[in-house]
Amino acid sequence: MRVGVLTGGGDCPGLNAVIRAVVRKGVQEYGHEFVGFRDGWRGPLEGRSIRLDIPAVRGILPRGGTILGSSRTNPLKEEDGIRRIKDTLARQRVGALITIGGEDTLGVAARLSDEYQVPCVGVPKTIDNDLSATDYTFGFDTAVGIATEAIDRLHTTAESHMRVLVVEVMGRHAGWIALHSGLAGGANVILIPEQRFDIEQVCAWVTSRFRASYAPIVVVAEGAMPRDGDVVLKDGSLDSFGHVRLSGVGEWLAKEIERRTGKEARTTVLGHVQRGGTPSAFDRWLATRFGLHAIDAVHEGDFGMMVALRGTDIVRVPIAEATARLKTVDPELYTEVGVFFG
């Protein structure tokens, strides 16, 4: 069989490890051929593809990004999108499509599979770790490592100047990166999208930290919101899945903290650094196992399914179910880490 592979949405360390595992096992064990579609759903929409064989995937395991390119193209919003995808697959004799993506890319795969008879198998990815149905997504561990190292570094400069350092990390709907890196990095305040924050309380924690003669580190997820306000936007622009561009809450917080406490405050926005570069060992391990199980699902004709991590097992779940709701931080877990605030 000829199998198509695409990577959609924001890139994420470990995508290449999935592609490599899919191709290696698919060629070696099953004798499948592969077509790599370029730039997410734009590839099958526009018929743009690359050769994907064993030589093409050599050496890519530790490389960040994706050799296939990515985009946030939504084919359901394109004129004749479904027909154009089906035409491309027929023309290229592609009998199955492995879609590696987050909630948006996989949401499209679920609809194509369930409503339009396009045989898809999903592989979950996102540094935000906010997909339900899987314990972890690859990319998250790498992002947490990068953010933790940044927090460690910011502690020493914050202490030297006795100023507040606000660290803004990614996390649109879920505060997993903020929570894990904030805890691992010994932050004094962690703010997440799931719990609106009280700026007065944040300032009280900041002040109490100074009182103990230490400089506070505030870790904030880009989607976090003040109790009496709205999410801080970069500008009003939307992607084709209707998401606004975030980033700005860190800057807003530093200004408010400075104004209310009289203490000097600075902001570091980690941004896309969290998504770039080489994947951690855990992410390579998880991405590789997802790839191996995804090609097994294709080989068995188990379409409309997504591979997922449950404990240490890789299982299959319906893509539609897996993308139906997000995995957010449990209030109890957030309360648990609150003992370190202030």
Task: Tell me how far apart the alpha carbons of residues 76 and 36 are, in angstroms, rounded to a whole number.
Answer: 21
> What is the binding site for ligand F6P (CB under 6 A)?
9-10, 102, 126-128, 170-172, 222, 246
Q: Which is nearer to ligand F6P, 21 or 170 (CB)?
A: 170
Residue nearest to ligand F6P (CB): 10
Find the shortest distance in angstroms from Cβ 236 to ligand F6P.
14
| b/e map 40-70, b = 16+ CB within 10 Å | bbbbbbbeebeebeeebbeebbebbbbbbbb
Find the shortest distance in angstroms from Cβ 172 to ligand F6P.
4
Find the shortest distance in angstroms from Cβ 94 to ligand F6P.
26
Residue 326 per-residue DSSP state: B
Q: Which is nearer to ligand F6P, 40 or 75 (CB)?
A: 40
Q: Any catalytic annotation for residue 152? A: no
Q: Which is nearer to ligand F6P, 26 or 175 (CB)?
A: 175
End-to-end CA distance of the chain: 59
Find the shortest distance in angstroms from Cβ 211 to ligand F6P.
34
Helix (H, G, I), strand (E, B) or coil at 168: strand
Q: Which is nearer to ligand F6P, 292 or 319 (CB)?
A: 319
Say which of 11, 39, 104, 128 is annotated catalytic.
128
Q: What is the 3-state secondary structure (H, E, C) of 180-217?
A: HHHHHCCCCEEECCCCCECHHHHHHHHHHHHHCCCCCE
The DSSP line for 225-280 is: -BTTS---EEEEEE-TT-PEEE--HHHHHHHHHHHHH---EEEEE-GGGGT-SPPP
Query: Where in the sequence numbering do the catalytic residues fall?
Result: 128
